[in-house]
Structure 1
Amino acid sequence: METIHGNLKGLKSSELKQLQKLYRQKIPVDAIATPEFAQRLAAISTDIGKPISTYINRRGQVIRVGVGTPRQTQIPPLELPRYGASRLCGIRCITTQAKAHPPNVDTLTTMAIQRWDALATLILSGSGFERRGGGPTGYIQSTYLAHLASQSSQEATESPESPAHWHVSSPLSLDILTKQDFLDLVEGLEEEFEREHVALEVEEGKERVLVVGIETQEMTREQFQHQLTELQRLVESAGGTVLDTLQQKRSHPHQQTVVGSGKVDEIALSAQTLGASLVVFDRDLSPAQVRNVETRVGVRVCDRTELILDIFAQRARTRAGKLQVELAQLEYLLPRLTGRGEAMSRLGGGIGTRGPGETKLETERRAIQKRISRLQKEVNHLQEHRERLRHRRQSQDVPSIAIVGYTNAGKSTLLNALTSAHIYTANQLFATLDPTTRRLVVPHATTHEPQTIVLTDTVGFIHELPPSLIDAFRATLEEVTEADALLQVVDLSHPAWRSQVESVSTILGEMPLAPGPMLMAFNKIDCVDSETLEAAKADFPQAAFVSAQDNIGLEPLRQKLGQLVHYTTCV
């Protein structure tokens, strides 16, 4: 279909026909362009008084003709051929330009983002697009040839017009441009990209991730850096590899694209240069923001909540954990159905949108709502089951303590050290998800006789825990509100341990029922300096200080747990 793209306003039907005839041109596979094609393009551009951009594949076929600059007429990212960091996209752009200067940064950035084979810019004769001169070479004054630059050639090509990502030639005659060996140029570039890609190759099966952080005015620089580091660890916990991290400081996120337009281009450029398969933002995004950024960047975009849900889906082992994760994922997905691919039709409110039957989108929405209702019933049954178990323990007068704390603080490791529970542990965020209850013998606070209590390891907390997770895991989190007391484990070796304590306190404060009394246990004291340890002891004199990994301070902790239980029974 000979569609002409771009700004067609004011064009005559005869001019449109001339543009459509460009689709019938065939370029030799080893040439960037032929003199005849270039002159014809320049003539039409001069006649209509507008730039023209044509896109040619490696078979020499013109696949797109647009009126406007390459930035205005570029191929939509989702329509581009599939390519990776070691390959070019297989398409070159031939464009016309009135002013006698190299292609601008916007055009070169578009080339780099879309990984064109090459960009040839034809400089028209005369002033602006005013037709002047004649003869077989009267339309073209000079040309420029641009292409991507490999890392190894960056130092040699560095200049104001040719920064790290591309190389731009000096002005060339049309004869020199059309005699360039196009296949030799492309094959040489892809060989260099392939060597560099192999050197940067990540472990097979791992997602290649670009992390994006937005520093807003309500956070300090230190808080932002801790938040960004945590996001990188979340990516690693999900099984991804962070290739690079981009940052932007804004008063508030952009309504359409989260970050500014220039930063979106930078993200797209980095994603294509590094071969990223996923872009992760450090905050929750609206469905429209995800769609807008994906359209501009050309790779999948994920927000913080979706990343955490993915980790939970990987970690869930029991049936209870799996159904709670599925419930949270579906509740997250439901409002984001609109725009998830062109295959899903839309319901509208105008002519042609009404009629019998349902759209695919509404059919899927209905199916998800039914599944959510079913899962909520199962979670309610799980809640009732856990309640019966708690009543049974309470009837036996066995005090219960719920272990809470920030993710990766060492809760499961501490439970293993105290009770030999053999729970899976790893230096990851949300390494364990399903709650585990174990018995522990502690000394009575007054008689010092052995007494039995139960410890329950709960799901780890995190800054701004997604609401869908809180709702789905209410059956698990009720262990916190129904326990006689809490044991909050804090990773003292973490630079932001005070902020993590505040985050846990905030989440506990939002519980529907107020939790019982709490004992603080500062973990990993073997990994901190004496100054940090003394500061924590001064601020929290009643706390326990332990190293669960090295079994340090466990006996004083048992004694404090006995005192905590005694306090709860007296109250």
Structure 2
Amino acid sequence: MEKIYGDLKGLKTSQVKALQRIYHQRLPIDRVTTPEFAQRLAAVSTDINQAVCAYVDRRGHVIRVGVGSPHQTQIPVLELPRYGAERLCGIRCIATQLKIEPPSHSVLTAMAVQRLDAIALLTLTGTGFTRKGGGATGYIREGYLAHLVPHPEVQWAVSEPLSLDELDQQDFLDLAEGLEEEFRRVFVAQQVDTDHERVVIAGLMTDQMDEATFKNGLQEVARLVETAGGDVLQTLTQKRSRPHPQTVLGAGKVSDIALAVQTLGANLIVFNRDLSPAQIRNLEKRIGVRVVDRTELILDIFAQRAKSGAGKLQVELAQLAYQLPRLTGRGQAMSRLGGGIGTRGPGETKLETERRAIQKRLSRLQQEVDQLQAHRARLRQRRQHHSVPSVAIIGYTNAGKSTLLNRLTDAKVYAADQLFATLDPTTRRITIADEQADHSDGPRSLVLTDTVGFIQDLPPALMDAFRATLEEVTEADALIHVVDAAHPAWQAHIRSVMGLLAQMPVAPGPILLVFNKLDQASTDALELAKDEYPQAVFISAVNNLGLDTLRQKVLQLVDYAVAS
């Protein structure tokens, strides 16, 4: 039986059957609608005193009938045919409305989100004639024809009011094919790089955030997207007292995001916060493209950056720990009973099977991480046995830790202006000539370890998985905390790093604060930093400025750590 979509509450059986009979109609392929079809919709719409929508494919078949506006009855994006940014979906909507007004923004947005070929909006007014058996039939006063246009600033075009005869004379096939040809030319001219994700960033600002923190967080997400290999096309934000439990953002903003996705040809939405599996599922259903949260984005970058076996091991452990509670968000495929040899019997679901497999893999990875942890502990004990002091270089991601290690030790570690450019810790020996007069033992040796960069709200899965690496921080005799003095949020970065250090199971040793990128920082920022942290060292690792002073300060720091 043909399904009627929308709100059917209060409809009589005869009215539902009248709606179902719309499915039996067929339209010419070269006409938006016909007077006969339009009047049939008008009759049903007037009888139920509600708007009615009929969705028609290019063969003229009615494929969906709904009660309500095009916004209320739209086809879920995931159920639509996907032809890419250069094509329309091959479906037009013929809808009635009871008010005399042009298509509303919600109607046009629904058209854009679905990439409909066109919308014909028919306005009903008064009563026309009385049919046999009673019941008034409305007539069509006028209609509007709306369609998308391939223009970066104007998403759609709406006709002037048209009579039913004028609407009937529109050559629909010529219109649809002409639009697709224009879309195709624009698509080719843009030279879309298929190797890069085309990303729209979505941000929610709650009452617990201040404006500066929110903006810095969005900029950081944009840097993360670029680091992961994506192109940020647009950033959309909303301010709410608290996140919407189902979609994080309000329904109107979700529609705006869906519109931006269709207009810009985006294929990924990145949120500035963590999302629940249900929220991801709801958002993907409404927007029609993949949705990831901040944690998943960071995990993806870590997966790209991990080069050593230890790094890959820890990244996989973090990814599986993240995925395990989110398996239920992957749709019906995870809840079907297994089929085939080895899956019959007790009726274990695919979800249970995959969850069990992940738990087994997690247990094995956990054992390997424990072995890695023990191996690093033996290396540290060997250094301690030879009385070689160790210093760990820590700091917010992209503060310049790897560049500093290269300058001090000639380590040749990969360094770039990227977030998490290096992931695997690197340990190098350094010899420093002690310039203090009361020392006569000559040059002194110690080891420097470059650690993984910290970030605000570091995902718990990463904290746990990388404990073997982070122990290099807690077991070091002293720490060099590198700060990007040129970053506008350097104070927040310091707080984030110190907050993460406070979560370590073992309190770290003494810390030397080092402000890097002296050559790029503003005078005001440097003066503020010197006032707040008079004991800090100011350097430019790239330009080799202040490194001699840093070396002597490191020796003093190690002496203090050993003495205490």
* Alignment TM-score, normalising by the size of structure 1: 0.92
**Residue in 2 that maps onto 1:475:** 468
1:174 equivalenced with 2:164 (yes/no): yes
Task: Map 1:456-475; keep pairs closer than 5 Å.
Answer: 456-475=449-468
Task: Map 1:4-23; keep pairs closer than 5 Å.
Answer: 4-23=4-23
1:439–1:455: 8 Å Cα contact kept in structure 2? Answer: yes
**Alpha-carbon distance in 2 for matches of 1:14, 1:502:** 68
2:43–2:138: 8 Å Cα contact kept in structure 1? Answer: no
**Residue in 1 that maps onto 2:118:** 118
Deviations 1:424-480 (A, max 9, x none): 111110011001100000134541620110001100000111111000000000000
Q: Which amino acid aligns with 2:523?
A: S
Aligned-residue offset at 1:51: 2.3
**Alpha-carbon distance in 2 for matches of 1:383, 1:217:** 41
1:562 equivalenced with 2:555 (yes/no): yes
* SS of corresponding position for 2:220: helix
In terms of mean alpha carbon deviation, does 515-524 or 287-296 score higher?
Answer: 287-296
Pick from 439, 444, 450 the counterpart of residue 447 of structure 1. Answer: 439
In terms of mean alpha carbon deviation, does 452-461 or 265-274 score higher?
Answer: 265-274
Pick from 198, 206, 214 the counterpart of residue 208 of structure 1. Answer: 198
2:200–2:233: 8 Å Cα contact kept in structure 1? Answer: yes
Q: Which amino acid aligns with 2:423?
A: L
- Flag the 1:535–1:68 CA change in 2: closer, same or farther, 3 A: closer
1:443–1:562: 8 Å Cα contact kept in structure 2? Answer: no
**Alpha-carbon distance in 1 for matches of 2:169, 2:536:** 78
Q: Which amino acid aligns with 2:74?
A: Q
Pick from 271, 281, 297 the counterpart of residue 291 of structure 1. Answer: 281
2:46–2:138: 8 Å Cα contact kept in structure 1? Answer: no
**Residue in 2 that maps onto 1:235:** 225
1:548 equivalenced with 2:544 (yes/no): no
**Alpha-carbon distance in 1 for matches of 2:192, 2:421:** 22
**Alpha-carbon distance in 1 for matches of 2:50, 2:69:** 9
2:112–2:259: 8 Å Cα contact kept in structure 1? Answer: yes
Q: Which amino acid aligns with 1:362?
A: E
2:280–2:329: 8 Å Cα contact kept in structure 1? Answer: no
**Alpha-carbon distance in 2 for matches of 1:566, 1:216:** 46
Aligned-residue offset at 1:209: 0.4
**Residue in 1 that maps onto 2:512:** 519
**Alpha-carbon distance in 1 for matches of 2:236, 2:50:** 37
In structure 2, stretches of 5+ residues that fail to align are 338-344
**Residue in 1 that maps onto 2:73:** 73
Q: Which amino acid aligns with 1:124?
A: L
Pick from 323, 332, 335 the counterpart of residue 333 of structure 1. Answer: 323
Deviations 1:57-115 (A, max 9, x none): 12222111122222222111110110333322211100112222223222222112111
Aligned-residue offset at 1:46: 2.8
Deviations 1:286-329 (A, max 9, x none): 11211122221111111110100010011001111111111111
Deviations 1:518-571 (A, max 9, x none): 111111111123343233233322222211112222221111111111111222
Pick from 335, 349, 363 the counterpart of residue 345 of structure 1. Answer: 335
* SS of corresponding position for 2:72: helix
1:125–1:132: 8 Å Cα contact kept in structure 2? Answer: no
**Alpha-carbon distance in 1 for matches of 2:456, 2:187:** 36
Deviations 1:339-373 (A, max 9, x none): 312212179xxxxxxx9321111111111111111
**Alpha-carbon distance in 2 for matches of 1:569, 1:141:** 90
1:210–1:271: 8 Å Cα contact kept in structure 2? Answer: yes
- Flag the 1:254–1:15 CA change in 2: closer, same or farther, 3 A: closer
Aligned-residue offset at 1:189: 2.3
1:140–1:174: 8 Å Cα contact kept in structure 2? Answer: yes
**Residue in 2 that maps onto 1:104:** 104
* SS of corresponding position for 2:362: helix
**Alpha-carbon distance in 2 for matches of 1:380, 1:428:** 30
In terms of mean alpha carbon deviation, does 190-199 or 215-224 score higher?
Answer: 190-199
**Alpha-carbon distance in 1 for matches of 2:384, 2:196:** 46
**Residue in 1 that maps onto 2:49:** 49
**Residue in 1 that maps onto 2:208:** 218
2:197–2:267: 8 Å Cα contact kept in structure 1? Answer: yes
1:407 equivalenced with 2:397 (yes/no): yes
**Alpha-carbon distance in 2 for matches of 1:413, 1:250:** 41
1:90 equivalenced with 2:95 (yes/no): no
Aligned-residue offset at 1:393: 0.6
**Alpha-carbon distance in 2 for matches of 1:223, 1:299:** 28
Pick from 516, 521, 529 the counterpart of residue 528 of structure 1. Answer: 521
Aligned-residue offset at 1:512: 0.6
- Flag the 1:216–1:12 CA change in 2: closer, same or farther, 3 A: closer
* SS of corresponding position for 1:71: coil
**Residue in 1 that maps onto 2:271:** 281
**Alpha-carbon distance in 2 for matches of 1:506, 1:49:** 61
**Alpha-carbon distance in 2 for matches of 1:55, 1:421:** 65
2:31–2:171: 8 Å Cα contact kept in structure 1? Answer: yes
Aligned-residue offset at 1:200: 4.1
1:54–1:93: 8 Å Cα contact kept in structure 2? Answer: yes
**Residue in 1 that maps onto 2:532:** 539
Identical amino acids, percent of aligned pairs: 64
Aligned-residue offset at 1:133: 5.8
2:449–2:472: 8 Å Cα contact kept in structure 1? Answer: yes
**Residue in 1 that maps onto 2:496:** 503
1:317 equivalenced with 2:310 (yes/no): no
**Residue in 1 that maps onto 2:342:** none
- Flag the 1:217–1:45 CA change in 2: closer, same or farther, 3 A: closer
In terms of mean alpha carbon deviation, does 14-23 or 224-233 score higher?
Answer: 14-23
Pick from 479, 484, 493 the counterpart of residue 486 of structure 1. Answer: 479
Q: Which amino acid aligns with 1:85?
A: A
**Alpha-carbon distance in 2 for matches of 1:538, 1:70:** 61
* SS of corresponding position for 1:337: helix
Q: Which amino acid aligns with 2:473?
A: V
* SS of corresponding position for 2:328: coil
**Residue in 1 that maps onto 2:382:** 392
In terms of mean alpha carbon deviation, does 336-345 or 473-482 score higher?
Answer: 336-345
In terms of mean alpha carbon deviation, does 514-523 or 116-125 score higher?
Answer: 116-125
**Alpha-carbon distance in 2 for matches of 1:215, 1:7:** 33
1:548–1:554: 8 Å Cα contact kept in structure 2? Answer: yes
Instruction: Give the total of aligned pairs.
Output: 550
1:442–1:561: 8 Å Cα contact kept in structure 2? Answer: no
**Residue in 1 that maps onto 2:340:** none
1:144–1:170: 8 Å Cα contact kept in structure 2? Answer: yes
Aligned-residue offset at 1:147: 1.3
**Alpha-carbon distance in 2 for matches of 1:203, 1:553:** 43
- Measured on the aligned residues, the alpha-carbon RMSD in Å equals 2.0
Aligned-residue offset at 1:238: 0.5
Aligned-residue offset at 1:138: 6.9
